[in-house]
Amino acid sequence: MNKMTVRDVSFAGKRALVRVDFNVPLKAGVVTDDTRIRAALPTLSHILEQGGSAVLMSHLGRPDGTRDPEASLKPVAECLSKLVGKPVQFVDDCIGDGVREKVKNLKAGEILVLENVRFHKAETAKDDSCREFAKQLAEWGDLFVNDAFGSAHRPHASVSRVTEFLQPAVAGFLLEKEIEYLVNKTAHAERPFVAILGGAKVSDKIKVIQNLLTKVDVLLIGGAMAYTLLKSKGLKVGSSRVEDDKLDLASDILIDAEESRKCQMLLPCDHVVAEKLEAGAATQVVKDIPDNMMGLDIGPETRKTYKDLIQSAKTVVWNGPMGVFEIPPFDEGTRDIAQAIANTDCVSIIGGGDSVAAIAKFGLTDKVTHISTGGGASLELLEGRDLPGLTSLTDKG
């Protein structure tokens, strides 16, 4: 990905229109987790320190084109103000004369937060209104900065369409880091290269599996998705969660894995099972799952095999838990995998979603190389797909 970044342009005397990912949790009008806001600070500091100003746009929630007070970005602007230690302006729309007046009066070193772009249906529309909306947003900047990896897979007005009217369009530091790890480090990985995939549905990971089979040395499978694959092999999975309509597809995946000259794909060989999914449930460790039991975590033999392979790796990518890690005692498999990754000196990339939650739950966030800020976006990159928010940026040279 040879795209321009904030390092390649001067912001002196310029107004940067910045797409950030401020889709943060709110409770009673207060931000309860400011992680995504903090993630934008290096890019914002860089712009302001160079003598530029910043107009920030983001979505929050799914208001579906209506003005929902509970999805307002005003509390986010207040939180950002505390983090940067100076006033941050806010305007209650993202287009129109009121915004134009605010933008016109914005001085170097100042920040203006626009209201939620998804208060307008055109932001996510699939017709010409999206392009027109993007054109109006583009008025607010002299150049465009995308630092919202969590939205980079969306062909939305504020993410990719705005670049049709505003150039140069460059990556912020956060987006640059995501590109470096999820694109460059995986394309030119140090080997052995191990990928770990888990989660509930094999249908969600089909394209990821197919892509990784051509790239990695070892692919380790866990989570409920493993039971669809195991059942397609004719193995007993009891009452485990299975996508019965995907068994043929699962069988095709296994055939692809067997035919792969590059990659070894491993499925769990033993399982932690219980009659019901509930905290403190009586469990057994089995290889063949009885009819009245469901698989809820990988077993100790599987954990040891997986840990040994992880510890010998030079590059590890992980997306998806090994079991129902939110509910003890079904968190041990995910915990062991997380700890094994943390104990290695390899390049470790955590690909968003539940894997990030697991790493945080086990207190290992600072023990891995890179934690992606975008679940859906990181998954699409692992599938080998192009992301509109990346491809629309200006090429270097």
Do 194 and 164 have their domain in common? no
Position 285 confidence tier, pLDDT thresholds 50, 70, 90: very high
Last residue of a domain, one of 174, 205, 228: 174
pLDDT in tens, 260-280: 777 899 999 999 999 999 988
pLDDT in tens, 112-143: 999 999 999 999 999 999 999 999 999 999 99
| Percent of the chain residues past pLDDT 70, beyond the cut | 99
- Whether residue 397 is contained in a domain is answered as no
pLDDT in tens, 145-175: 999 998 999 999 999 999 999 999 999 999 9
- Whether residue 276 is contained in a domain is answered as yes
Please give the pLDDT value at position 297: 97
364 pLDDT above the threshold of 90: yes
Do 81 and 163 have their domain in common? yes
How many angstroms separate the CA atoms of 209 and 225, rounded?
12
Last residue of a domain, one of 122, 146, 174: 174
Do 198 and 232 have their domain in common? yes
Please give the pLDDT value at position 1: 66
Mean pLDDT of 37-63: 97
Please give the pLDDT value at position 382: 81
- What is the distance of C-alpha 269 from the center of its chain? 29
Do 104 and 217 have their domain in common? no
The three-state secondary structure class of 159 is coil
Q: Which CATH number goes with the domain that contains 20?
A: 3.40.50.1260
pTM (2 d.p.): 0.86
Do 142 and 225 have their domain in common? no
Q: How far is CA 156 from CA 87, 124, 135, 193, 353, in A?
A: 29, 5, 12, 34, 21
The three-state secondary structure class of 175 is helix
For residue 115, give the DSSP letter. P
Last residue of a domain, one of 174, 200, 218: 174
99 pLDDT above the threshold of 70: yes
Backbone angles phi, psi at 141, to 5 degrees: -135, 160
- Whether residue 388 is contained in a domain is answered as no
Question: Could you tell me the residue range of the domain that residue 200 belongs to?
Answer: 181-382
Do 185 and 142 have their domain in common? no
- Whether residue 393 is contained in a domain is answered as no
Position 45 confidence tier, pLDDT thresholds 50, 70, 90: very high
Structure-token pair, residue 361: 């739950």
Structure-token pair, residue 100: 């134009």
Paired strand residues for 284:
273
How many angstroms separate the CA atoms of 372 and 352, rounded?
5
- What is the distance of C-alpha 148 from the center of its chain? 10
- Whether residue 337 is contained in a domain is answered as yes
Do 118 and 68 have their domain in common? yes
Do 93 and 163 have their domain in common? yes
**Domains in the chain, number:** 2
Do 196 and 242 have their domain in common? yes
353 pLDDT above the threshold of 80: no
**Residues marked as catalytic:** 36, 201, 353, 376
375 pLDDT above the threshold of 80: no
